[in-house]
Structure 1
Amino acid sequence: MSDARVESVVRTITTTCIENETYFGDLDSVVGDGDFGFSLARGFENVLAQWDTFDRSDTGTFLQKVAVVMSGRIGGTSGPIWGTAFLRAASQVKGTQEVRGTDVVAMLRAAIEGIKARGGADLGEKTLLDALAPMTDTIERELAAGTSPADIAKAAAATARDAAEATRPMQARRGRASYTGERSIGSLDPGAVAVAVLAERVADTW
């Protein structure tokens, strides 16, 4: 991917989170405190407001600037977690202006490890990791198979959606939803759904 393509993906993520504020909030209100959509929207509105000021000397620097704005402006746990994800991803492409498929996988793997470390979460605990990790596995597998970028994006989106749906029977082990214990069973994890929605939008606009 070129710098322009990376910017396009980040911009798509930004506008999609803003547009889905109510939907993400409604998902979170089932067993959480309902602020997930609000927090993401406010954080990405700040990203959008500062969009033209970001340093674009290389892809890593651009993503780092996005991460800093998100970390400082998103409330609750979402800011640190999403900011860390972008920051860890940025570290994999520092000084890079052409992002290869293998770089994308490395960025996502780094983001996953950052989320685990920052949030103390792991797979199977009903968080965004339960969609992000399988999606990354699909991207890596499709790259190895020589699949085209557009088709990889579609496959990644399909995996993320299936994985998000698979959080329904899980019991939440992290975040505010974990306080509800078994009542969290039967609801979708809002973070995992957000990953699916974002992957689908990226695939649709590739």
Structure 2
Amino acid sequence: MSSPSTPAGDLAFVVRTIARTAVDNEGAFGDLDAVAGDGDFGYSLARGFEIVLADWDTLDPGTPDEFLKKVALVISKRVGGTSGPLWGTAFLRAAGAVKDRTELDAADAVAMLRAAAEGIKARGKSDLGDKTLLDALIPMTDALEQRLAEGGPGAGPAELAALAASTARTSADATTSMQARRGRQSYTGERSIGSPDPGAVAVAVMAERVAAEWDVRD
């Protein structure tokens, strides 16, 4: 893996952390999905990201767009249910946001997240307020974009990672009172009210782990 002091190394760290988090939380994500869904979210996500980790040495984070495209391909092929197309599209759109770029910065991170969210919107025909992972991903992206626009002290990578994590967690928790309008949970109607959306929680847990491990990344 690239040195963590480089932009490519930072991207690789984030993607690898996402993958590890998906695998480590298979049971927790599945249990949460079982409350109002079919319970396969954790299993599906873990199976895809296991392959990402197993094939890690074949991926080249030094070319960000190609790296993300390869991850997208694995996810699309290996993750079952609706999660595969959505998460695969997210990585593919993120790749498009940094096409032909070799040096990345915080603005590129926002661009990748924004592109991922727009891809999920289009593929899942969903939006903010539908009780999906977008309800954590979009507010997190908005918060980062606003912080970068403000500039000044406290806009370093570690601080931005912490902001992403806290915003994603608050936003994921807020989905508890929502009624699902997309995905399998929407089939249960009002029964979807009272538990947070598994996808939004996954985004929050992943962001929290990135923030927690940022200063000790390898």
TM-score by length of 1: 0.97
User: What do the CA deviations read for 1:89-113 (whole angstroms, capped 9, x no partner)?
Assistant: 0011122121111111111111111
Is the CA contact 2:8–2:62 (under 8 Å) kept in the aligned structure 1?
A: no
Q: Equivalences for 1:52-91 in 2 at 5 Å?
A: 52-56=57-61, 58-91=63-96
Is the CA contact 1:164–1:188 (under 8 Å) kept in the aligned structure 2?
A: yes
Counterpart in 2 of 1:17?
22
Counterpart in 2 of 1:158?
166
Q: 1:100 aligns with which of 105, 109, 115?
A: 105
Alpha-carbon distance in structure 1 between the residues aligned to 2:212 and 2:148: 19
Kindly indicate whether residue 175 of structure 2 is the aligned counterpart of residue 167 of structure 1: yes
Alpha-carbon distance in structure 2 between the residues aligned to 1:191 and 1:136: 16
Structure 2 unaligned segments of length 5 or more: list them.
1-5
Alpha-carbon distance in structure 1 between the residues aligned to 2:177 and 2:60: 43
User: What do the CA deviations read for 1:30-68 (whole angstroms, capped 9, x no partner)?
Assistant: 000000000000000011111111244511110110000
Identical pairs, percent:
66
Counterpart in 1 of 2:130?
125
Structure 1 unaligned segments of length 5 or more: list them.
none
Alpha-carbon distance in structure 2 between the residues aligned to 1:145 and 1:90: 26
Counterpart in 2 of 1:193?
201
**AA of the residue aligned to 1:109:** R
Paired residue total: 206
Structure 1 runs of 4+ aligned residues shifted over 3 Å read: none
Kindly indicate whether residue 208 of structure 2 is the aligned counterpart of residue 203 of structure 1: no
TM-score by length of 2: 0.92
Alpha-carbon distance in structure 1 between the residues aligned to 2:110 and 2:169: 18
What is the RMSD of the two structures over their aligned residues, measured on CA atoms?
1.0
SS, match of residue 205 in structure 1:
helix
Counterpart in 1 of 2:119?
114
